[in-house]
Amino acid sequence: MKEENKNLKISYAIYFLIAICFVTIRMLSAFGLLNFFGTFTGYVFSLIVQVGILFGGSVLLYSLLSKRKIRQTLHFYRVQKMSNYGILLSILIGFIVFFLNIFVSSFFNSLIRAFGYDPNRAVSVITEYPVWLLFVNIFFTAVLPAICEEFAHRGMILSAETPFGFWKAIIISSLLFGLLHLNIEQFFYATLIGIFLGYLTSKTFSIIPAMIIHFMNNALSVFLTFSNVRGLGFGKILNNLSALISGNLILGLLFVVLLVILLLYTLKFLSKLLVFEGVKRSAVKIRGDLEKIIKRQMFLTNISKPNNEIENTSSKIKITPEDIKNFFVIEEIKEEKKDPYAVAFCVLSFILLAIITIFTFIWGVL
């Protein structure tokens, strides 16, 4: 079996276990069988799900089954350092993704409402929101998912699938990302965000931008809820904007279209800058690695010659852009089929998660 098929088989076997754990916890929670810790139940099980299941499965269990050191696993998942400039771009992109996400989620929620789905059913109203709770919710809702969910999807699944097809890897990892939320409302926009994050991860050769953008989107969502409860400016601005749009249908629709176009253009511009920064950073590292390899080979060649024939070859080293480009090319496997067990685990994961996601829609309609 090729190494790529082995990685794929391990990844989907682990992901199927993750899916089973997610569905089991969701079912038990729906029947009120997990309320052991009172008001802290959600936080306790968030730790279990994010750290224990997602991080433990995608990093620790994967390292064990693939017989890799954790550092090697993280390298395989493209945990590469980003420059301060790259981090800043990722933060700005995170802001834009959050605002675009508002429009996307509103659009899809309107669609499912047209079929009788009630998104507000069984939703508790928050009347008090202390500052300490804001930081707690940011940690559990933004920090942990940004790390653990990205390791599982843009790390494990995307990396294992990429040799079998660039876009195929992005689509599959994104669909699983959307389905793992086990919620019809979150499925649509989570899948779209997943496609964007998968593309950035593949093009920048680093999972860090995806983690930052994921964090910003979730953190701003938490802060928006906090602002609405506390009556802060951030929440008021968005509420007034929503009232303005709904007040005049034609002008509101025109404003939304223009705003979305502006946000998409800005997102495209910043994404290009981020990709260029990622490629440039990686090129510098690859150039250094290539030079070390060539110098070592030349040194070994020289020491086998008589002393009077030894040349100073270090000055002859020339790394062309084509050499660096070849290091970035991920060869797609076209001749060999995927391991049948990997395909089976993938399909079973899709079926299991899709059933629960569809059931949340049916439950919202009934």
Q: What is the pLDDT along the chain (366 residues), one digit of tens a residue?
A: 588 999 999 999 999 999 999 999 988 887 777 777 677 788 888 999 999 999 999 999 999 999 999 999 999 999 988 889 999 999 999 999 999 998 888 888 888 888 888 766 545 566 788 999 999 999 999 999 999 999 999 999 999 999 999 999 999 999 999 999 999 989 999 999 999 999 999 999 999 999 999 999 999 999 998 988 888 777 777 777 666 666 666 777 787 889 889 999 999 999 999 999 988 887 776 666 666 666 666 666 666 555 555 455 444 545 455 544 554 555 555 546 888 999 999 999 999 999 999 998 888 776
Chain centre to alpha carbon of residue 1? 29
Query: Where are the domains positioned within the chain?
Result: 3-365
User: What own/partner pairs with CB < 8 Å and gap ≥ 24 does 18-22 have?
Assistant: 18/53, 18/54, 18/57, 18/58, 18/152, 18/180, 19/180, 19/348, 19/349, 19/352, 19/353, 20/352, 21/49, 21/53, 22/49, 22/53, 22/180, 22/182, 22/353
The two counts, helices (H) then strands (E), for the chain are 15, 0
Total Cβ atoms within 10 A of residue 346: 22
End-to-end Cα, the chain, rounded Å: 49
Q: What is the DSSP letter of 37?
A: S
Q: Is 277 exposed, middle or buried (0-12, 13-18, 19+ CB in 10 A)?
A: buried
Chain centre to alpha carbon of residue 130? 30
Question: Model's pTM, two decimal places?
Answer: 0.86
Q: What is the DSSP letter of 305?
A: S
